[in-house]
A and B are shown apart, each in its own frame.
Chain A
């Protein structure tokens, strides 16, 4: 469990709301190179909170966050983290704010310092890899739920993050969009994936291991969780 070689390493994270309600109690999490992990747990268990802590959107009361070997202390550290770790929010409406889809998808690359022609090129290629080039000039808030979801994923993938954090990406999606999303994420060459989902379709298709956030702690669910190996857990 060396924090220097893992993608994400959380150590003794404590967090409670300002009301004093405890959310995370001494939570440890290590995400190794190539890990594809499903994070489960009941509603309000603190899964989203954990994601926000990894990206420095909220700060834990105590504990350390190490991402790609960098121990993050201040906002400057987390700014770097946000270039490497892409978070897809639960509600696409939180993520999309630009007048047009293309601007929204180019927003991240522009902030990373790309020239506007490069950013647009990057945004266009991301849209086409998701098969949604036709939405390019549409207004994000007028899209359907499924389209909004795909665009919100595009806004993150266009930054080419090494690690993906997905927060309930399939809520409200139909079978077809869900399958499409699964294909997009599976084809994306990321070094690590952390997925919050109650939807076993996507969890089985994309992850190889499950963690459960329960009683303010993280536990390993079982050794091998996979659509094929779930029935017979034998050997390794």
Chain B
């Protein structure tokens, strides 16, 4: 499954306690999102890049992930430079491009990539299951953890059913065109996916009832803090606090 592509590995970050990584990721992301001074944003960007390099994820795969995110950033570039009032740099037809707009778009690009890189480094290096377990250990409401966990768990099943259905239509000679048959087929496919997903959910729930499920999720995995986790927490904490402090005091300006 693609969403767990980076979770196996032996780097420092892969071995770190997911609870620590989740907390670091949250605080760091919030602080970076609030940075206003350009030098601090550069600093955050560079720190995130260094952090990500320690996760030893293949460079091409990182680029592919970042490319997806930057598609959304590109959409901002199509709007913000033209819509932000300020000093007009040049005219693009009927539209004015402002220097403030370009700066704002650039700043969003920097911060967005810095946050994504840090989260790739911290979160994608854990499996979904250990993240779900960590959330439970961090006392996140059990309903939310279950939602997270089951969403992920049954993505596989739905993916599987989707694959089976696609195979079924393919062996009967289906190839997508722009005609009613194609649209109708896709509509059937999506509809059936919903129905099957619903029925699957029912059966799973019944099976859980048979085993005495009453809403409690049991945690069998227990995490233990190691020296490396404390080092990670201290480093991430210092960087986060330093960024937040300098932002708050307005240095450097």
Contacts and interface: CB of A to CB of B under 8 A. Distances in A.
B206 interface: yes
Contact of A89 (B153, B203, B213): B203
Scoring B153, B200, B204, B220 by chain A CB atoms within 10 A of each residue's CB, the highest score goes to B220
Interface stretch (A61-69, A101-109, A190-198, A205-213): A101-109
A57 interface: yes
A107 B213 CA distance: 8
Interface in A16-38: none
B153 A97 contact: yes
B203 A94 contact: yes
Contact of A112 (B157, B203, B212): B212
Contact of A107 (B153, B206, B218): B218
A141 B157 contact: yes
Nearest to B128: A99
Scoring B204, B212, B216 by chain A CB atoms within 10 A of each residue's CB, the highest score goes to B212
A57 B157 contact: no
Contacts of A57: 206, 209-210
Interface string B83-106: 000000000000000000000000
A159 B208 CA distance: 13
A82 B220 contact: no
Contact of B209 (A82, A93, A99): A82
A73 B200 CA distance: 27
B212 A111 contact: yes
How large, as a class, is the contact surface on chain B?
20 to 34
A97 B209 contact: no
B204 A94 contact: yes
Nearest to A161: B210
Do most interface residues of chain B lie in helix, strand or loop, or is the interface mixed? Answer: helix
Interface string A112-132: 100010011000000000000
B157 A82 contact: no
A100 B149 CA distance: 13
A97 B212 contact: no
Contacts of B153: 97, 141
A156 B208 CA distance: 11
B203 A111 contact: no
B211 interface: yes
Given A106-B218, A107-B218, A141-B156, A97 B211 contact: no
B218 A82 contact: no
A95 interface: yes
Contacts of A214: none
B207 interface: yes
Given A79-B212, A87-B210, A99 B203 contact: no
A52 interface: yes
Interface string B107-146: 0000000000000000000000100110000000000000
B220 A120 contact: yes
A107 B208 CA distance: 9
B204 A97 contact: yes
A159 to B, nearest CB: 7
Given A103-B220, A141-B156, A95 B207 contact: yes
B214 interface: yes
Scoring B132, B208, B218 by chain A CB atoms within 10 A of each residue's CB, the highest score goes to B218
Which 4 residue pairs spanning A and B have beta carbons closest together? A111-B212, A99-B129, A108-B211, A94-B203
Interface of B: 129, 132-133, 150, 153, 156-157, 200, 203-204, 206-214, 216, 218, 220
12 contacts: A79-B212, A82-B211, A95-B204, A97-B150, A99-B133, A110-B216, A111-B212, A111-B214, A116-B218, A116-B220, A141-B153, A159-B212
Interface of A: 52, 55, 57, 79, 82-83, 86-87, 89, 91, 93-95, 97, 99-100, 102-103, 106-108, 110-112, 116, 119-120, 141, 155-156, 159
